[in-house]
Chain A
Amino acid sequence: MNATQPKKVLIVDDDLGILEALKFMLENSGYEVKTVSRGDEALPVLKEFGPDIVLLDLYLSGFDGRDIAVEIKNSPEGKNTPIAMISAHPSAGEVLKELDIEEFLPKPFDVSQLLSVIEKHTSASR
């Protein structure tokens, strides 16, 4: 792996404000970022973009983040991609126990918290 190549982060969230803020923040921190606001776009973009980590919102308009996570984990391109689920839902923590995902971040979170999570899952691999 080329160490100088920026890490790729795919953000899936239906809230455009979050998408914009995170994109801005992560790009400022040296990541290459792609954002998706529709659940059904997540997998195609992932296949094309090949991110090092996916930040996935639990509840998207019309889509369930859990289905998307399962889809990603079942795809050859995405089965090794770490997923950090982010959600403002109160019982999201409970809901995600049964899913095979790497990380969960309740909203709202500190920028530093997010950065350390991404750092943790992107530096070790590749």
Chain B
Amino acid sequence: MKRKLGRNSHSTSAASERGARAKKSKKQTMRKSSGVVGAAPLRHGRSTATMLAARMHRQEILALLSQIALATVDIDVSEFMQEACLFLARTLEADYAKVLQLDPGGQTLTLRAGYGWNKSIMRVGATKFKSNSTIAGLTLTSKHPIIIKDLRREKKLRGFAHLKAHHVTSGMSVIIHGIRGPYGVLGVYSRASRSYSADDLNFLQSVANIMALVFERSDAENELRRFKYMADNANIGISLVDKNGRFHYVNRITYERLGFTKGEYMKKRVVHTPAGSSQSQFRRLFQRAQKQQITQLETLEMRKDGVEIPLEVNLTGVSFEGEPYIFVVSQDISERVRSQAEKLRSQRNLEFLSEASLLVGSSLDFQKNLGKVARKAVSYIADACAIEMADHTGGFASAAIAHREPKKSRLWRASRDEFGGGEGLFGRAPHVAAAGRAELHSHVAPSMLRKWSKSRSHFAALQRLDAASLMIVPVMIGKRVMGTMVFANSSGSRRFDDADLAIVTELANRVALAIENSKLYFEIEEQKERLDNTIANVPGIVWENWVNPDPATQRSNFISDYVEEMTGYGERDWKRPGFMRDILHPEDRDRVLREYDEMVEKKRGMVQHFRLVHKNGGIIWVESHSLAFKDARGRLLGFRGVIMDVSERTELERRKDEFISMASHELKTPVTTLKVFTQILQKKTENAGESITAAYLSKMDAQITRLTDLINDLLDLSKIQTGKLTFKYSDFKIDSLVGEIVEQLQPTTDTHAINVIGRVGRLVHGDRDRIGQVLINLLTNAIKYSPKADKVNIYLSERGGNVIIDVEDFGIGISEEQQSRIFERFYQASEGSRTTFPGLGIGLYISDQIMKRHGGKITVLSEKGKRTVFRVLLPVTAVHEKLTLV
């Protein structure tokens, strides 16, 4: 209480942080109030209230308290109670006075304020009141005021030991009644015996009533504050409007969302507000709300900047003091309206996309399709649409143009005709194409048009087009730009946004695909025609056979017209399953069918030679080249190929073979005679001791042998080419073969020693003579191409299932470039023009072929100018193929 007393002294401790502003206003009020009752000047050590209390009449105290209670804004309840208790204690000569407040639950009493000598006594009664063990509790339960004149004489209160402990003798206790029930209990107590009268009790009750008023006011103010807080922070507009359309209350959002201040908004008449747009409409709504009808409407309210905001409004009729009002609760539904509009637009966009997509590929005439697409675009998403396609010069040319208004359509066309060439109507096509990215110009400024235009007249023309909002989209596949699509909206229409851009980009993609498809279609047609022409001119049967799903029922899927010319049978015959079989020459039939089975099994085509029987009974020799074709998973689907009539060629070959065979025969006959006479002469001269002549005759004989070998090589070559080289297979010892050959060749050279190094114990399988032929070829080459060396080495070994015969010389060597070619027919290694080595250059070719037919091979390793090693690889179990074509 000292703190409170110091409030009017020089002490400044009274200002607590909580409610500093409220206190200030109250202090002023208190001071003012004091003035009213003629407060004396302050005197040191004594409080104003004390002095006032002493002097003031009870009626004045009640008036003062009432005035404070009613006139103070945001009254501090506790402070008021404390002040009142001080007045009470002094006026009623009590030792203490206190207010115990009933908690909202109504179960407990709490000390709210008090004045007295002892803090512990102040807390008495602040407990569960139902115990009836305190005066306050008793007061509440009995619902009557209590007066204690002398505690010692009150039998009922004998059990109240705590009073006795504090030496309480007299007291009074009253209920602080509120409208909705008791707020608590007000009591005064004294240690001296006081004979409290009914007047005293009345006075106490009067103070309690003022206290009740304070409690009620505080509650109401708090409630209002809470309401205001909620209303101001709610996302809905709340206002109270009277029957004349004037505002009595508006919350913050109501005016803020429209950009007004509260004052500006309050001045408006409700006809310009959500509650109504005309006087008559407002009246009708007002009356309907008064009849408790739920009135909800959607309306527009204009923002301070002129933009209309869509609102959803609820009107409720209320009545205050007999006057009718309406509560207007409004909600901004722009978002909802926007999303609905958005949804509608996206539905339309999808509709457009699907309709335009159908048009894109509606016919093979692409120009026509683009025209349809452009017209569809102007009926859906834009006021104007221009499609510009890249031409072969790299420029852009208009392919379609459309405008919502026919008049403007003509204007656009005219501008296109005048300015649309090369870079497109807006001059943006090359940029869009280069970037490969669409351009969105929501707001097209004149400065942009000026930048894009080629000339002053172009700029003027662009301005006339009234393209206030623009989208330019590339029509492209991958990185290849085929053209651009331009979409424009006039100044009166909406501005394009990203959603529009997305939809036209998608459309451009579909257009690109459709163009590509139609281009492919024409390309395929063109290729097909080209192929058809080619096939028609092939002097052979071009065919395709499907073996899938069943090779047994395979039939011709395609066969060229030439078939009739070649075989006398038409396409219809050939497409009959198994027809080919019937016209195969009986001698070739089994082989050809077997080969075909093999092709199917190996999924590989081949070259075949066989005879067909012409419809007229004649025999046709054919060469058939075939290729397998498979599906993506590698399964064989069938074969394609060409069958050529090679009867003439076959005949020529036969004659050539015959000629070569005859020629070799004719050549060998005189050679034989020559050889015999030479050998006779050699013998004779030897016997006659003419050794020099004998030696010359021996050389002559060797040359005759060489001549024979050359004839044989030619013959072998011819046989290899026609696949008639035959082999006589046997098991033989490679070591002894090598031995024999060395024995045979060593006498033919005076310069080189032929050394055999290593041996292979085993038998090999092959044509002994042919393999001997290979070794002779390699050894004679080795000697021939190492004119300055004195030896040739043969290494015999066995490795990895192969017999290996290396023939090494130390001669001129073979360059890498030559190494890959020496096994070709008629190829000869030479060191330029100065040093040539005679020979037909077919020996290695024949040797290579022989080894290949044995399943082996010949490889070469050479250091130019140092040495050369030819390696013969012969599989131990040599494969000997049957006579087939090479």
Contact = CB atoms under 8 A, between A and B. Distances in A.
Interface in A5-36: 15, 17-18, 20-22, 24-25, 28
A114 to B, nearest CB: 8
A89 B662 CA distance: 7
A21 B726 contact: no
A94 B683 CA distance: 34
Contacts of A18: 669, 672-673, 676
A103 B284 CA distance: 140
B721 to A, nearest CB: 14
Interface residues of A, number: 22
Interface string B114-129: 0000000000000000
Given A90-B715, A108-B668, A21 B673 contact: yes
B665 A94 contact: no
B491 to A, nearest CB: 99
A45 interface: no
A88 B668 contact: yes
Max chain A CB contacts within 10 Å: which of B673, B680, B704, B719?
A: B673
A108 B672 contact: yes
A107 interface: yes
Nearest to B716: A90
B679 A111 contact: yes
Contacts of A4: none
A47 B304 CA distance: 147
B322 interface: no
Interface in A71-95: 87-91, 94
Residue of A20, A91, A107, A109 with highest tally of chain B CB at under 10 A: A107
A17 B664 CA distance: 17
Contacts of A108: 668, 671-672, 674-675, 704, 708
A111 B676 contact: yes
Contact of B670 (A17, A91, A109): A17
Contact of B676 (A22, A59, A91, A94): A22
A25 B672 contact: no
A110 interface: yes
B677 interface: yes
Contact of B675 (A15, A90, A110): A110
Nearest to A87: B665
Interface string B18-35: 000000000000000000
Interface string B685-727: 0000000000000000000100010000001000100000010
Contact of B680 (A89, A94, A111): A111
Given A24-B680, A94-B726, A108-B704, A88 B669 contact: yes
Nearest to B679: A111
* B interface SS class: helix
B672 A91 contact: no
B680 A88 contact: no
A92 to B, nearest CB: 9
Contact of A89 (B661, B676, B677, B708): B661
Contacts of A111: 675-676, 679-680, 683
Contacts of A107: 668-669, 671-672
A111 B661 CA distance: 24
A112 B672 CA distance: 13
Nearest to A94: B726
B665 to A, nearest CB: 5
Contacts of B668: 88, 107-108
A18 B677 CA distance: 9
B665 A88 contact: yes
Contacts of B683: 28, 111
B135 to A, nearest CB: 150
Contact of A90 (B664, B670, B677, B679): B664
Q: Give the size range of B's interface with the partner.
A: 20 to 34
Interface string B595-612: 000000000000000000
A91 B668 CA distance: 13
Nearest to B657: A90
A107 B672 CA distance: 6
B697 to A, nearest CB: 12
Contacts of A20: 673
B676 A25 contact: yes
Contacts of A109: 672, 675
A25 B680 contact: yes
Contacts of B719: 90
Nearest to B718: A90
B715 A28 contact: no
A59 B673 contact: no
B665 A21 contact: no
B199 to A, nearest CB: 164
A25 B668 CA distance: 19
Given A107-B668, A108-B672, A21 B661 contact: no
A88 B679 CA distance: 18
Nearest to B667: A88
A21 B673 CA distance: 6
A110 B702 CA distance: 11
A17 B673 contact: yes
Interface string A42-62: 000000000000000001000
A95 to B, nearest CB: 12
Contacts of A17: 669-670, 673
A112 B421 CA distance: 98
A88 B660 CA distance: 12
A107 B668 CA distance: 6
A106 to B, nearest CB: 8
A15 B665 CA distance: 12
Contacts of A94: 726
Given A88-B664, A90-B661, A91-B661, A21 B669 contact: no
B677 to A, nearest CB: 5
A21 B676 contact: yes
Nearest to A16: B673
Contacts of A87: 665
Contacts of B666: 88
B704 A89 contact: no
A19 to B, nearest CB: 9
A75 B589 CA distance: 43
Nearest to B671: A108
A5 B674 CA distance: 30
Interface string B757-790: 0000000000000000000000000000000000
Nearest to A21: B676
Contacts of B674: 108
Contacts of B676: 18, 21-22, 25, 111
Contacts of B661: 89-91
Contacts of B708: 108
A91 B719 CA distance: 10
A4 B668 CA distance: 36
A28 B673 contact: no
A20 B668 CA distance: 16
B675 A88 contact: no
Nearest to B707: A108
Contacts of B669: 15, 17-18, 88, 107
A21 B680 contact: yes
B729 to A, nearest CB: 15
Contacts of B670: 15, 17
Contact of A21 (B677, B704, B715): B677
A28 B675 contact: no
A48 to B, nearest CB: 26
A40 to B, nearest CB: 21
A89 B665 contact: yes
A21 B674 CA distance: 8
A94 B676 CA distance: 25
11 contacts: A17-B669, A17-B673, A18-B669, A18-B672, A18-B673, A20-B673, A21-B677, A28-B680, A88-B672, A90-B661, A108-B708
Complex A-B, nearest 5 residue pairs according to Cβ-Cβ distance, in ascending order = A88-B668, A17-B673, A108-B672, A21-B676, A111-B679
Given A88-B667, A89-B665, A108-B668, 9 more contacts: A17-B669, A18-B676, A25-B680, A28-B683, A59-B665, A88-B672, A108-B672, A111-B675, A111-B679
